């Protein structure tokens, strides 16, 4: 169980190491923890798909747009800018006409994408059950939940 840092922790013998470690680690359940903003970036529909798509290697913008079907040009550009700012994606712009820009995962992005790929795989594996659950009337879902208790 994760517990929030307490003021008592700051007075122990290892206070410098403990505080520094907590600051690096963050506390995702705290309202003002910066990890919440990162979580919102990486758990958006488009970010997950872009990160998993980039696991296959370097892509140009147009390749990503084709691969991530349904994403608008504006949303893809915003998603890539956010992922680049967070250090998950590396952008290379070549000084040519017409412009050529490529995107690839950073080591941090690769570590994240590997985990997100597991989430995407889980969703694809269980999509039949999820769709069936959504289609069931609310009364049936409630009865199934009560039966499970």
Do the domain assignments include residue 18? no
Do the domain assignments include residue 20? no
When the pLDDT of each residue in the chain is averaged and rounded to a whole number, the result is: 85
Mean pLDDT, to the nearest integer, of 58-65? Answer: 97
Do the domain assignments include residue 36? yes
Predicted confidence (pLDDT) per residue in 102-127, tens digit: 999 999 999 999 999 999 999 999 99
pTM higher than 0.85, yes or no? no
Query: What per-residue confidence (pLDDT) applies to 28?
Result: 80
Query: What per-residue confidence (pLDDT) applies to 30?
Result: 81
Contact 116, 51 (CB under 8 A): yes
Do the domain assignments include residue 108? yes
Confidence of residue 14 (pLDDT cuts 50, 70, 90): very low
Q: Phi/psi at 58 (nearest 5 deg)?
A: -65, 135
Instruction: Give the orientation angle of helix 45-53 with respect to helix 35-42, to 10 degrees.
Output: 70
Do the domain assignments include residue 22? no
- Domain region containing 95: 32-148
Confidence of residue 131 (pLDDT cuts 50, 70, 90): very high
Does the pLDDT of residue 66 top 70, yes or no? Answer: yes
What CATH number does residue 110 fall under?
1.10.10.10
Predicted confidence (pLDDT) per residue in 19-61, tens digit: 666 666 667 888 888 888 899 999 999 999 999 999 999 999 9
Mean pLDDT, to the nearest integer, of 59-65? Answer: 97
Do the domain assignments include residue 26? no
Do the domain assignments include residue 23? no
Burial class (CB in 10 A: 0-12, 13-18, 19+), 49: buried
Looking at the 3D structure of the chain, how many domains does it have?
A: 1
């Amino acid at each position: 169980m994760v517990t929030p840092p307490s003021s008592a922790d700051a007075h122990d013998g290892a206070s410098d190491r403990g505080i520094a470690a907590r600051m690096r680690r963050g506390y995702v359940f705290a309202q003002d923890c910066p990890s919440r903003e990162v979580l919102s970036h990486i758990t958006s529909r488009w970010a997950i798909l872009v990160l998993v798509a980039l696991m296959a290697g370097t892509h140009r913008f147009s390749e990503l747009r084709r691969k991530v079907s349904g994403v608008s040009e504006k949303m893809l550009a915003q998603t890539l800018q956010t992922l680049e700012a967070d250090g998950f994606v590396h952008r290379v712009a070549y000084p040519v006409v017409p412009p050529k820009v490529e995107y690839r995962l950073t080591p941090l992005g690769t570590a994240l994408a590997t985990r997100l790929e597991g989430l995407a795989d889980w969703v694809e594996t269980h999509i039949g059950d999820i769709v069936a659950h959504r289609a069931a009337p609310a009364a049936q879902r409630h009865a199934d939940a009560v039966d499970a208790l």
